Structure 1
Amino acid sequence: MQPCKTDLARDALQAHRAPLAMRQRRLLILCDGQRDLAQLTAMIGPEAPAMVIQLIQAGYLVSMAPAEPAPPAAVVPAAPPSAAAPTTTPAPATERRRSMVAARIYLIGILELQRHPQAAVLLRTLQQARNDEQVVAALRGALDALPGMTSPGYCERVRQRLFEVLPETRLAELEQAGVIPG
């Protein structure tokens, strides 16, 4: 299944006042009809499939491909009966979410929502970045410019989410550059 935003979702993301939790907003930003459920689960975490179903039922998402059968998904959670498996699973999921790719995709989604000419330039710069140093430079440029394109509260929420997904080493680089108050 490749979920895609509806007009209701686009309106909700632009209004910033929709009755959506932050994790639901993040998922909506990532649902572009290009990513399948497995990719979204890798970026958001194991709760992504349930959130996708909730957002489809609420009218925020539509499925671009036939839904996968539910029985295999129901068998997977029932299969690991040991207590050791759940304790080891959350740590890798958290680590997996901290990545340059997740940070890049998140900020690309944010920049796509902005109706500012500078956002389009920053978006292209971020899309064309080919290595981690270029991505960090593009992230820094976007974070510096974002306060001029949106409200301070929204800008701060974007910063916080970006800092949640950036790898620790890259986070330290942005702190040294003064993007993050030390």
Structure 2
Amino acid sequence: MKRFVSLDTETTGLDIKNDRIIEISCNEIIDFRITGKKFHSYIKTNKKIKKEAYKIHKINKKFLINKPNFKEVNKKILKIINKSKVIIHNVRFDYKILKEEFKRIGKKIKFKTLDTLRMARKKFPKKKNSLTSLCKRFKIKKNNIHSALQDSINLAKVFILMSAKQKKIIIKKKKKKKIKVSYKKKKNIILF
């Protein structure tokens, strides 16, 4: 059994050391199927949300006032990512900012990651490989709302489709030029 968790965050800005996570979402994938088990939370912070970040996710401090802080949700995050390879689109950002959040509450975390941005650059060189571009390429419906919840679900779908192996076709020649064609599936792909 192969277990993965897709993870996405929204933040107050792009400064890994100083900005904070204000939304996080994780989705469980077992044997390349989205199971429906997930974790999602908005997170209250005292940090100012930068204008550039707000333009993308439309989350403001007023909306976050009654939400839990990171210390209150950290155990739930650890519980879902425990013993899994975590799928992130651009590990260099989300993984590092998540590590910083845990560091602030006195915890060191380390987990295995898989970067779908890196995978996409290998699979589709010289093409746009943002999550939005990959969703278009794989014909995954994507609404205009930029949220960690929606992006983590789409990320799971993109990962499954990029990981799928093509059907292998075996052609066996028999006497009198008869050809037998058989198909062998490498993986079942179920997105929902």
TM-score range, shorter chain: under 0.3
Q: TM-score, normalised by structure 2?
A: 0.26
Higher-Rg member (1/2): 2
Determine which structure has the larger strand proportion and give its number: 2
